[in-house]
Amino acid sequence: MAGPAWREAALAWRNRLLANPRFQQWAAGFPLTRPIARRRTEALFDLVAGFVYSQTLFACVELKLFEHLADGPKRDADLAQALGLPREAAKRLLSAATALRLVDRLGSERFALGPHGAAVLGNAGLTQMIGHHTHLYADLADSVGLLRRGRGSLAAYWPYATSDSPQAEVAEGVAAYSSLMASTQPAVAADILHAYPIRRHRRLLDVGGGEGAFLAAAGAEAPKLHLMLFDLPAVAERARARLSSAGLLDRTDIHAGDFLADPVPRGADLITLVRILHDHDEAGVLALLRKVRSALADDGALLIAEPMAGDAGRNRMSDVYFAFYLLAMGRGRARTPRELFALLRTAGFNRMRLLATRNPFLLRAILAKP
């Protein structure tokens, strides 16, 4: 046998072996296989306990444990009082957080920030992202039901994803998700600006640019770059306020509209789609890419930056987290670079390349030209 048939036979043999209780017992006891068996057992039980790990992190963020430890170590009794928990409950949380390296234990009763806790404390966007996960966790409490429904309560957090008239959304309806996207944008913007030199361009249009957080970073990186933003009317007004406070409004054109229903504004030699395409189905993505191609001059470029799936399931963040997040949201999926290349070709782009980003498991980037 050769090719796929050979691989299927090998996988079947492996799976029969690993599913055999007698083999499991033998592998756990035999000196040469014991370390491998132990690692695989730990990995499997990490999958079992993963939801509890995430809930431990959520509890730490919700109770502001990391803020209470920001000025130095504290006794568990003092932390219990600050967190509003019974001392035994606080000790239980602190013990779990220690195991996850969110806090460090100093002696029997004192605790300090751990490396992961310090990283969360220093990232306001990540803290806000963790906080909004209450919606996702509620949907994942019935993951089978979520798979059957194809949408969860998280969809209400992102009203544009399911609205028949997203342009009609008012300021209150877009405030929560716009604020979240803006708070998580600085790290994303830093990765994009590290991956691609935007100074070579004259005019940058950020489609679906939200509150303008990416544009603000781009404007600081390239002082001579003229800025353009295109988003829903209620979101565009929030961008106007942010860019005005950043002193960038005099070099920014703000366009209000729905990029799925309206033409993309012309005039830019660089158009960016930052965390946009994975929110939409194939028809919406292709329609948007065709509009972008129509709006671009022949010497222009499109920069796509978002989480992308890995070939053959090699990106757990996209293939697991974003897969279920977007399912709960009710629309979209993370695509592989190869899938995006195919859509770009269909839309009229001929030259595409994948750019190197600092955190490819979270964000990848594609530069496309006509």
Q: What is the pLDDT of residues 117-145, one digit of tens each?
A: 999 999 888 898 898 899 899 999 999 99
Mean of the pLDDT values across residues 37-55?
Answer: 88
From residue 242, alpha-carbon distances to 184, 235, 238 in Å are: 15, 11, 6
91: Cβ–Cβ under 8 A, 6 or more apart, which residues?
76, 80
Q: Is the dihedral of CA 56, 59, 61, 67 positive or negative?
A: negative
pLDDT-derived band at 43 (thresholds 50, 70, 90) equals: confident
pLDDT band at 159 (very low <50, low <70, confident <90, very high): confident
Where are the extended beta strands (E) located within the chain? 74-75, 103-106, 110-113, 203-207, 226-231, 252-256, 270-274, 301-306, 351-355, 364-369
Give the mean model confidence (pLDDT) for residues 253-261: 94
- pLDDT-derived band of residue 166, with 50, 70 and 90 as boundaries? low
Residue 183 has a pLDDT of 81
**Higher-confidence residue: 31 or 334?**
334
- Angstrom distance (rounded) from CA 305 to CA 337: 11
| Domain spans, the chain | 22-122, 126-369
What is the mean pLDDT of the segment spanning 139-161?
88
pLDDT attached to residue 14:
84
User: Among 149, 101, 180, 173, which Cα is nearest to 330's?
Assistant: 149
Give the class (CATH, top level) of 126-369: alpha beta
Q: Identify the burial level of 325 via C-beta atoms within 10 angstroms of its C-beta, where 0-12 means exposed, 13-18 middle and 19 or more buried.
A: buried
Select the more confidently predicted residue: 170 or 289. 289
pTM of the model: 0.85
Q: Which of 49-58, 86-95, 176-185, 289-298 has the lowest mean pLDDT?
A: 176-185
Which of 37-41, 74-78, 152-156, 162-166 shows the lowest per-residue confidence on average (mean pLDDT)? Answer: 162-166
User: In the predicted model, is pLDDT for residue 106 greater than 70?
Assistant: yes
Q: How far apart are the C-alpha atoms of 256 and 81, rounded to whole Å?
A: 49
Judged against a pLDDT cut of 90, whether residue 64 lies above it is answered with yes
Closest CA relative to residue 326, chosen from 158, 99, 85: 158
Helices then strands (H, E): number in the chain? 17, 10
Mean pLDDT of 214-223: 95
What pairs with residue 136 in β-bridges?
none
Could you say which of 1.10.10.10, 3.30.70.1520, 3.10.129.10, 1.10.357.10 is the CATH number of the domain covering 22-122? Answer: 1.10.10.10
pLDDT at 368: 98
pLDDT for 165 equals 57
DSSP class of 300: -
Distance CA 313, CA 302 (A): 26
